[in-house]
């Protein structure tokens, strides 16, 4: 039987909103951002790793402003406390399954450590996760540091979506979940700046609730199994935003998630990482002091709205591009958006 060709949500429906997507409608529309993924599928194994490089060059020596927001904290987000404390990210960002966090952490240490300057003996690695045990032998811990190296070697502006990478074994609303991405352009005319800025989102969807697609409900194929889960959301922008402003942007990522029908259930780990790779605001430890330029708070509303739009569409893309999969007698189909 021939597999049905999956299409992004924008190819299936008219997408409402006030902002246009970037060229790829992807997080990689933000200059300097790349994504690499490895998918591991075998008998009983359905998992993977997704690596996001949030800026060009070395993030460790030229850190970027960042912040995080937590919807429901039933999850494991390595590095979160230091990002919260210092307002910076200094590593590539890893996504995987819950019990493979340690392997991805080690893989990112293996990548960064040889490049660290003399005298710098530690690094704050950021790794997020969701639990893919419904489709994957999660306790087998099948992700290794070698998979991380492979994903880093595959870093690209092209982002595959659906049942790939860290989204290979995820389930969302009782349907097959996965990796999704989208972007929005905030023009200078709107922001009051002399240039356009981009907001990009990448998601790992593995959560539940009552699926709603731009106001239209879609019933779950397995209501009893559609409530719990988790979601990792990464929002990146080239706009000059401070850590405090990025914290507020991150909170709007959760709005994009709830717009899809999630109420962030008890068993859900819902986290948003937001960062700005605006070159002028990257901290260089070799310089003892410097000037920064951040937008005023009065300019933030377009970025809040663009974040909501991008995250919501990225989540729908994660569903639209995911092929159905099953394990142990349970099957989670891909969403059929044609009924809408």
pLDDT digits (tens, 9 = 90+) for 110-121: 999 999 999 999
pLDDT score at 148: 98
How far is Cα 54 from Cα 236, in angstroms, rounded to an integer? 7
Q: At 215, phi and psi to the nearest 5?
A: 90, -10
111 alpha-carbon distance from chain centroid: 21
Question: Residue 3: its pLDDT value, please?
Answer: 56
* φ, ψ dihedrals at 295, nearest 5°: -65, 160
Cβ within 8 Å of residue 53, ≥6 positions away: 32, 33, 34, 35, 36, 59, 92, 93, 152, 155
State both tokens at 86: 């210092």
Catalytic residue among 163, 220, 230, 262: 230
User: What is the DSSP code string of 282-330?
Assistant: -EETTSS--------GGG-HHHHHHHHHHHHHHHHHHHHTPPPEEETTE
DSSP classification of residue 30: S
Give the per-residue pLDDT at 140. Answer: 97
Q: Measure the CA angle with vertex 88, ends 85 and 93; round to 5°.
A: 115
| pLDDT of res. 223 | 64
Greater model confidence, 100 or 4: 100
Between CA 88 and CA 103 the distance in angstroms is 23
Mean pLDDT in residue range 42-66: 97
- Which among 287, 333, 236 is positioned nearest to 30, based on CA atoms? 236
Mean per-residue pLDDT for 176-184?
98
Maximum pairwise Cα distance, the chain: 63
Please check whether residue 274 is in contact with residue 253, taking contact to mean a CB–CB distance below 8 angstroms.
yes
The answer to whether residue 263 scores a pLDDT higher than 60 is yes
> DSSP character for 281?
G
pLDDT at 139 over 90: yes
Window from 53-67, 223-237, 326-340 with minimum mean pLDDT: 223-237
Average pLDDT score over the chain: 95
CA distance linking residue 102 with residue 52, whole number of Å: 17
Supply the pLDDT for residue 225.
61
Residue 270 annotated in active site: yes
Residue 289's pLDDT is 74
If residue 197 lies in a helix (H) or strand (E), which one and from where to where?
strand 197-206
- 2 pLDDT more than 50: no
DSSP-based three-state secondary structure for 58: coil
Give the angle 172-177-181 at the CA atoms, nearest 5°: 120
Catalytic residue among 26, 191, 268, 318: 268
CATH architecture group of domain 14-283+292-323: 4-Layer Sandwich (3.60)
**What band does 147 get if pLDDT is binned at 50, 70 and 90?**
very high
- Which one of the listed residues 29, 132, 137, 270 is annotated catalytic? 270
Residue 22: per-residue pLDDT? 98
Judge whether 137 and 169 are in contact, CB under 8 Å: no
Q: Is 173 helix (H, G, I), strand (E, B) or coil?
A: coil
Q: Is the pTM of this model over 0.95?
A: yes
Q: Which residues contact 99 (CB under 8 A, 6 or more apart)?
A: 138, 139, 141
């Amino acid at each position: 039987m021939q597999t049905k060709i999956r299409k992004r949500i924008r190819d299936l429906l008219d997408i409402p909103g006030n902002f246009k997507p970037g060229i790829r409608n992807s997080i990689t529309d933000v200059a300097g951002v790349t994504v690499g993924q490895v998918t591991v599928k075998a008998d009983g194994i359905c998992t993977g790793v997704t690596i996001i490089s949030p800026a060009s060059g070395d993030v460790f020596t030229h850190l970027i402003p960042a912040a995080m927001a937590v919807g429901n904290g039933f999850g494991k987000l390595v590095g979160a406390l230091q990002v919260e404390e210092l307002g910076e990210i200094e590593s590539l960002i890893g996504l995987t399954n819950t019990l493979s966090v340690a392997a991805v952490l080690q893989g990112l240490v293996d990548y960064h450590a040889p490049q660290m300057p003399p005298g710098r003996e530690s690094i704050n690695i950021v790794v997020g996760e969701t639990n893919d045990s419904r489709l994957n032998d999660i306790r087998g811990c099948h992700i290794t540091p070698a998979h991380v190296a492979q994903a880093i070697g595959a870093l690209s502006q092209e982002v595959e979506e659906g049942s790939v990478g860290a989204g290979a074994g995820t389930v969302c609303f009782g349907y097959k979940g996965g990796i999704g991405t989208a972007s929005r352009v905030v023009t200078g005319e709107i922001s009051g700046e002399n240039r356009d800025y981009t907001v990009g989102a990448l998601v790992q969807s593995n959560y539940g609730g009552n699926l709603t697609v731009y106001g239209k409900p879609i019933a779950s194929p397995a209501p009893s199994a559609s409530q719990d889960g988790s979601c990792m959301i990464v929002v990146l922008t080239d706009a000059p935003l401070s850590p405090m402003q990025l914290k507020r942007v991150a909170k709007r990522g959760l709005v994009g998630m709830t717009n899809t029908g999630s109420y962030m259930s008890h068993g859900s780990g819902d986290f948003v990482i937001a960062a700005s790779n605006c070159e002028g605001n990257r901290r260089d430890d070799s310089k003892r002091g410097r000037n920064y330029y951040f937008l005023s708070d009065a300019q933030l509303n377009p970025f809040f709205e663009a974040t909501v739009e991008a995250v919501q569409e990225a989540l729908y893309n994660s569903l639209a591009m995911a092929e159905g999969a099953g394990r142990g007698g349970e099957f989670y189909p891909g969403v059929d958006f044609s009924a809408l």
